[in-house]
Amino acid sequence: MKGVEIFIRGTVQGVGFRPFIYNLARQHGLSGTVCNTGDGVAIHTSCSKEELEAFIGAVRSKAPPLSRIQSIEHGPKEIEIEDGRFTISKSSGTSSADASIPPDIALCADCLSEMQDPNDPRFAYPFINCTNCGPRFTIVEKIPYDRQQTSMKVFPMCEACTRDYEDPGNRRFHAQPNACPLCGPQVSWHDQAGNKIETKSPLTDTAVALAANKLVAIRGLGGFHLSCNALEEKAVAQLRERKRRPHKPLAIMVQSIDIAKKYCFISEQEIALLSSIEHPIVLLQKRPDTDLAQGLAPHITELGIMLAYTPLHHLLFQESTCPQALVMTSGNSSGTPICTGNAEAIDRLGPIVDNFLLHNRDIVTRIDDSVTRVSGKKPLILRRARGYVPSPIHCKWTLPATIGCGGGLKSTFCLGKKNSLFTSQHIGDLSNLESYDFFQESIEHLKKVFDIEPEIAVCDLHPDYLSTHYAKALGIPLYQVQHHHAHATAVMAEHGLKDPVIAIILDGTGYGDDGTSWGGEILQADLTSFTRLAHLSHLRLPGGDKAATEPWRMGISALHSLYGDGLSDKNIPTALRQIERDKREPLLSMLNNNFNSPLTSSCGRLFDTVSSLLGICQKMSYEGQAAMELEDRARRCLNSTWKNDLISEDYDQFPFLLDDRGITWEINSLQLIKTVLDDIQMGKKTPEIALRFHLLLIKNITALTLQLCTQTGLNQVVLSGGCMQNAIILEGLRHTMATHNISVFTGENIPINDGGISLGQTITGGLQHVSRNSHEGNQGRG
């Protein structure tokens, strides 16, 4: 019979969409079918034009909360339907970039209530879930999203679960991870060697161990956490020693907002972010009177907190002996990917922990916790992973099948096709074989899930990045996009900006198109090209890459640039005099002879320099440590009126010079450093000097940007780069630009650090390919 096919694309699988359509169709008196396909959801029915419009309107207005509708199309089709019946049909087709599966979602209130009800069949069940919550991305092998295509296929449903699954009025109607204590996954308690310990309650034993300051590896949604008592210095110190992570801040988990408020100051926007369906880690300001272990975040007053997001976490906190705050840090040895398998974890984490809390539901895709903060009352994603991936970013442009391979640090990749951009979960630093294997495995998995076989590859200009080698080895057309241009176009793609912008990119490092190290850049950029308008003046990197991990080298380098042969102990701040002379002298010789001392315009190295001169950090044990600790000192002087000083400045009075080639403008880094040294000589306090440096940098960048906006006629500014994670810099620049009626854009759903450049690469390389093919096609017709 003649009927109509309605086709819906977007995040419509794994979110209760077919049950929603089933019930909605019955409410509208429609007969027909609904099924998952490789592209989305297909509905076959027979109805009048008026009935069709009413039904589609209801689909849009009442769609399940976890769904994201990208498009709804309809047209005539020959169909077979049974009058008076509407049914859910078996899934059909293969996967496609037009379909999207949702991320893993935090436990919903309904499931939490059932889990706490002694009369409920899923009482105290650590894997309770429904169509509104639970695992998705981490258990999916491929789509269409059905139980047999997930790691739940080895758990046949019992009669009771089957009834729930088949009942249109039940919250678990076609919930693919549906299970109960009789038929689903189970937890188990193990010793350090992985031997199973028979016990009535693995969760009780876990709580007792944590209260006794033991370290426990806990298998979660996307991998393992290393956990300990966050209230005890001894436990935290032991974790740091065993994991060889001396200073990098550790995230903690608590059960509720009320508990989080005991430890941190929390705004309404931060509460909303903490309790969102993603339940990310949120960076918050620590209360000074907290009883948390000081070793959680040495020299930093900011703390990463997340709420319990799985039923297992909630049950653990409900144990009477469980500490109120637990460290939950990635279950890996430093620098390697998070462990997912039980055997793998026992092998790799056994030397670190005392016990294991395991379960037997396979993790198909490893994924870390996402990290966020609130900036200017808006959420800012710093690490995009659990809760957000694999949700696509939809852009305004149609792309060929493209892979953006990312950079070297905070690595991600991005698959683009048509107008969908799928950025991977956080991979980490591509500095070892394990991380590179994870990178390649993740690419193959997402290619399979979304049926994207790249036609072109895009990578960074840096010749030594493993991601660059990977892209070149694919043997398909290759495009290389400059690092900071990719930062800019990622933001442009997210916000749909097609016209040229002024892009302020403050970063640690990026390979420039002149072969030098860039990182403090003001560009005029569109989606396919850029011009470098200005940058921070150059500093030298004595020892090359070593200078990026040992800020004292940058301190000595700056002093050498300022004083040359006149440098003596009286010019050297007290903090650097503590560096042994037998270390300083070879470095000065290196600088005098211009040996292994490349130039850089890096903003990150400028922060390192100031951090060193102030004696805040001379040697880093994690990326960004010196800059983070410098920002923290500056925060200690902030008050509610700190932005007023930025507004009152006369930005027409700032002098800027062209560089040696007379092409680009420069902000004088050495003059900023000289101001810091003068303040040190005057005996000002470190926090005061640190804040003044931040404000001077904001003022200089603002003044030059306003000059360039006038010069170019552009009124849209993009802010990105790793140093824009500094809340003072980001909020300060947003404020000064807004007061001068400049439209400001920054990454919100995509990280502004190097985790976002793969998306920028994908959009830029993809559009360059389209443009080149169009140009060649026109030449051929000519």
- List active site positions: 18, 36
- With beta carbons less than 8 A apart as the criterion, state whether 579 and 588 touch: no
Cβ(429)–Cβ(754) under 8 Å?
no
CA–CA distance, 21 with 32 (Å, rounded to integer): 11
Cα–Cα distances in Å, from 759 out to 379, 394, 459?
Answer: 19, 11, 11
Q: What count of other Cβ atoms lies within 10 Å of the Cβ of residue 345?
A: 26
421, containing H or E segment: strand 414-423
CA distance 34 to 19: 9
Angle at 160 between CA 155 and CA 164, to 5 degrees: 90
Take residue 611 and report the two structure tokens written for it. 């951090």
Torsions phi, psi for 5 (to 5 deg): -110, 125
Reduce the DSSP state of residue 359 to 3 states and report it.
strand
The answer to whether 625 touches 617, Cβ cutoff 8 Å, is yes
Report residue 56 as tokens. Answer: 């589609």
Phi, then psi, of 704 in degrees rounded to 5: -70, -40
Amino acid in position 694: H
Alpha helices in 86-199 (DSSP H): 109-115, 159-166
**Contact, 82 vs 109, CB < 8 A?**
no
C-alpha dist (Å) from residue 515 to 512, 554, 599: 5, 20, 10
d(CA 497, CA 720): 15
Say which DSSP state 596 is in. S
DSSP string, 457-502: EEE-S-TT-HHHHHHHHT-S-EEE--HHHHHHHHHHHHHT--S-EE
Give the other-Cβ count within 10 Å of 257's Cβ.
14
Q: Look up residue 387 and give its two tokens.
A: 């809760």
CA 266, CA 386: separation in Å to the nearest integer? 22
What is the distance between the alpha carbons of residues 122 and 157, in angstroms, rounded to a whole number? 13
Using a 10 angstrom Cβ sphere, with 0-12 exposed, 13-18 middle and 19 or more buried, the burial of residue 125 is buried
Q: How far is CA 644 from CA 323, 328, 419, 647, 734, in A?
A: 43, 39, 42, 5, 13
Contact of 610 with 693, CB cutoff 8 Å? yes
Q: In a 10 Å sphere around its CB, with 0-12 CB exposed, 13-18 middle and 19+ buried, how is residue 661 labelled?
A: exposed
Q: 390: cis peptide before it, omega within 30°? A: yes
- Token code pair at residue 625: 């440590």
Beta bridge partners of 379: 374
Q: Distance between CA atoms of 506 and 700, rounded to whole angstroms?
A: 13
DSSP-derived pairing of the beta strands 530-536 and 517-525: antiparallel
Q: Please enumerate, as own/partner, the contacts of 395-399 that have beta carbons within 8 Å and a separation of 24 or more.
A: 395/419, 395/420, 395/421, 395/493, 395/496, 395/763, 396/496, 396/498, 397/527, 397/763, 397/766, 397/767, 398/770, 399/762, 399/763, 399/766, 399/767, 399/770
Task: Give the separation between CA 712 and CA 502, rounded to whole angstroms.
Answer: 9
With tokens 């040294």, the residue in question is 677
In terms of Cα–Cα distance, which of 738, 753, 543, 549 is closest to 647?
738
In degrees, to the nearest 5, what angle opens at C-alpha 659 toward C-alphas 656 and 660?
Answer: 140
- Of the CA atoms within 13 Å of residue 24, those in its CB half-sphere come to 22
User: Quick check: bond before 144 cis, omega within 30?
Assistant: yes
Contacts of 648 (CB under 8 A, 6+ apart): none
